Chains A and B, each alone.
Chain A
Amino acid sequence: MYLGGEMQKAKAITLYQIAQIGHLGLLLLWHLVHLIVNIWYFALGLGQTLESYLISSGLLKRYNSLDSNRVRYLAIVVDSEEACQTSKVLELLQHLENIGIKHVCLYDPEGLLKKSKEAIFEKLTRVKLYEEATKSDSLVRKHITLELASFSDGKKAVAEAANYLYKKNYIGGEQKEFICSESSIDEALKAIGCAHADPDLLLVYGPARCHLGFPAWRLRYTEIVHMGPLKSMKLGSLIKAIYNFTKVHQNYGT
Chain B
Amino acid sequence: MLLYRSVQFPSLQISILSSIFPSILTMLSLFAHLSLTPSSRPDNPTHNPKLHSNPTHLRKDPILTRQQNEFDLAGKNYSGAGASPEEERSSIPDGLRRELMPEHVAVIMDGNRRWARMRGLPSGSGYEAGIRAFRVLVELCCKWGIRVLTVFAFSSDNWVRPKMEVDFLMNLFEKGIKAELDNFMREDIKVSIIGDPSKLPTSLQRLIARVEKNTKHNTGLHLVVAVNYSGKYDIVQACQSIAQKVKDGLIEPEEINESSIEQELETNCAEYPYPDLLIRTSGELRVSNFFLWQLAYTELFFSKSHWPDFGEADFVEALVSFQQRQRRYGGYK
Contact = CB atoms under 8 A, between A and B. Distances in A.
A219 B20 CA distance: 45
Contacts of B296: 154-155, 210-214, 216
Contacts of A44: 7
A49 B7 CA distance: 10
Interface string A11-28: 011111101110111111
Given A24-B30, A28-B26, A252-B157, A162 B239 contact: yes
A116 B113 CA distance: 47
B30 A21 contact: yes
Contact of B326 (A37, A182, A207, A214): A207
21 contacts: A12-B52, A12-B55, A19-B55, A19-B56, A20-B33, A24-B33, A27-B63, A28-B30, A30-B63, A41-B7, A156-B258, A158-B235, A166-B242, A208-B297, A209-B321, A210-B327, A212-B330, A222-B286, A228-B6, A253-B160, A254-B160
Contact of B257 (A38, A159, A208): A159
Contact of B293 (A155, A162, A166, A185): A155
Given A34-B19, A212-B297, A254-B161, A220 B292 contact: yes
A162 B292 contact: no
B200 interface: no
B313 interface: no
Interface in B220-236: 231-233, 235-236
Given A27-B26, A185-B235, A253-B289, A39 B16 contact: yes
A99 B148 CA distance: 43
A225 B157 CA distance: 23
A112 B9 CA distance: 27
A208 B325 contact: yes
A3 interface: no
A160 to B, nearest CB: 8
A196 interface: no
Given A26-B63, A156-B258, A31 B26 contact: yes
A165 B239 contact: yes
Contacts of B22: 31
Contacts of A110: 330-331
Contact of A213 (B30, B253, B286, B330): B330
Interface of A: 10, 12-17, 19-21, 23-28, 30-32, 34-35, 37-39, 41-42, 44-45, 48-49, 79-81, 109-110, 151, 154-156, 158-159, 161-163, 165-167, 169-170, 175, 178-182, 185, 207-214, 216-217, 219-226, 228-229, 232, 248, 250, 252-254
Interface of B: 3, 5-9, 12-13, 15-16, 19-20, 22-23, 26-27, 29-30, 33-34, 38, 41, 51-52, 55-56, 58, 61-63, 155, 157-158, 160-161, 231-233, 235-237, 239-240, 242-243, 246-247, 253, 256-258, 260-261, 284-289, 292-293, 295-301, 321, 325-328, 330-331
Contacts of A16: 51-52, 55
Nearest to B297: A210
Contacts of A158: 235, 239, 258, 261, 293
Nearest to A15: B55
B286 A21 contact: no
B243 A208 contact: no
Label chain A's interface by main secondary structure.
Answer: helix
A181 B3 CA distance: 42
Q: Which 3 A-B pairs have the closest CB atoms?
A: A253-B157, A45-B7, A180-B240
A109 B300 CA distance: 17
A207 B12 contact: no
B7 A162 contact: no
B246 A170 contact: yes
A230 to B, nearest CB: 11
A109 B331 contact: yes
A159 B260 CA distance: 9
B240 A210 contact: no
A159 B258 contact: yes
Given A19-B55, A19-B58, A180 B243 contact: yes
Contacts of B38: 10, 13-14, 17
A15 B56 CA distance: 8
A12 B47 CA distance: 14
Contacts of A155: 258, 261, 293, 296
A151 B289 CA distance: 20
Contacts of B26: 24, 27-28, 31
A193 B34 CA distance: 75
A207 B55 contact: no
Nearest to B262: A155
